[in-house]
Amino acid sequence: MGPMSQPTCPKESIVSEAPIQHVKPEGPMVDLMQGDARWQIPVHEHGFIALVDVMPRLVPQGQTADAAIVQAARVSYGAGTKQVSEDRTLVRYLLRHRHTTPFEMVELKFHVAMPMFVARQWIRHRTANVNEYSARYSIVPDRFYRPTVEGVRKQSTVNRQGGDEPIEAGTAEQFLTLLDKAEANYREYLSLTERGVARELARAALPVSVYTEWYWKCDLHNTLRFLSLRMESHAQQEIQDFARAMYRLIQPLAPATCEAFMDYDFESMHLSRLEIDSIRSGQPLGSQNKREQAEFEAKKTRLGL
């Protein structure tokens, strides 16, 4: 039996030894946020929404974040962009035909301060990365949401989740007095934490009108899904206010995408098979569901039928 072969050390990977290649841009690059640290819009008395970062942050001069969407869409056949007008056409095609992944190439990071009850609705959109202010580590700031007398809404008779028109002034004033009592707990909350009650437990005494903050990072596709639901008229007014401010912040970054979103999604209309059959035949909707019938009547009104 011959001598055992000695183990050999693997050669160093050629890849690991290769130098990093620094590729310069073909032309001037510009900062989509114009060198600003953040773009911020106040919402209500104590709230705000701020755009603190976007990817891509740098784009070729004369382009927007729409270019990243086009770049991703065209990677399969390697064709370069010839004109910005062609980019707009492609973006509109992608959104119209629900090709979603190219829109995921744009990332947006927001800093938001909002009432707790708005945050609890917001967090239902589970496609973002979120880091929230911790009331276990820190004292909750003395900030509470209060509507105006005119902003106190009456429970909707058709929407079990929401309110619509203002309630009469006397009842509205009673509700604001109730909020005064709830906010008064803050002084005791502060006092008891100073006397040693754990912050993680003391926070249980605070109402959902108290403000929280978080950083919320989400790709553009899922941000648009959030906006399609939260800018809609049936969403709670308070979260609508934040959503509309968010749209104002992203519109300059991806104008072609936002234009297509309005044309093909937010201000468009979906018709079911039953609704199409009813319009074609002139016959009643083939459903006995009263809510579905009411929704169809609303669509026909919008269409002038």
What residue spans define the domains of the chain? 24-142+210-268, 146-208, 272-305
CA triple 238-239-241, angle to 5 deg: 70
pLDDT computed for residue 158 by the predictor: 72
Cβ neighbours for 209, distance < 8 A, ≥ 6 positions apart: 115, 116, 117, 144, 145, 146, 179, 182, 183
Residue with tokens 């669509």: 299
pLDDT computed for residue 1 by the predictor: 52
pLDDT computed for residue 129 by the predictor: 97
Split at pLDDT 50, 70, 90, the class of 156 is confident
Mean pLDDT of 141-160: 89
Structure tokens at 31: 């900062």
Split at pLDDT 50, 70, 90, the class of 16 is confident
C-beta atoms surrounding 254 within 10 Å: 26
Average pLDDT, the chain: 91
Split at pLDDT 50, 70, 90, the class of 84 is low
- Does residue 122 register a pLDDT over 70? yes
pLDDT computed for residue 165 by the predictor: 85
Instruction: Look at residue 188 and give its three-state secondary structure.
Output: helix
Residue with tokens 């959030």: 226
- Each residue's pLDDT tens digit, 177-206: 999 999 999 999 999 999 999 999 999 999
C-beta atoms surrounding 175 within 10 Å: 14
Please give the DSSP secondary-structure letter assigned to residue 196: T
pLDDT computed for residue 4 by the predictor: 61
Q: In angstroms, rounded to a whole number, what is the distance separating the alpha carbons of residues 120 and 105?
A: 27
Q: In angstroms, rounded to a whole number, what is the distance separating the alpha carbons of residues 118 and 147?
A: 13
| 33, 22 contact by CB (below 8 A) | no
User: Which residues are known catalytic residues?
Assistant: 230
- Does residue 9 register a pLDDT over 70? no
CATH topology of domain 24-142+210-268: Gyrase A; domain 2 (3.30.1360)
State in Å, rounded, how far the first CA of the chain is from the last one: 95
Please give the DSSP secondary-structure letter assigned to residue 206: S
Structure tokens at 182: 């709830």
- Does residue 80 register a pLDDT over 60? no
Percent of the chain with pLDDT over 70: 91
- Each residue's pLDDT tens digit, 247-267: 999 999 999 999 999 999 999
Q: β-strand 129-132 against 107-115: which pairing, if any?
A: unpaired
Closest by CA position to 242, among listed 103, 160, 96, 125 = 125
Q: In angstroms, rounded to a whole number, what is the distance separating the alpha carbons of residues 217 and 240?
A: 19
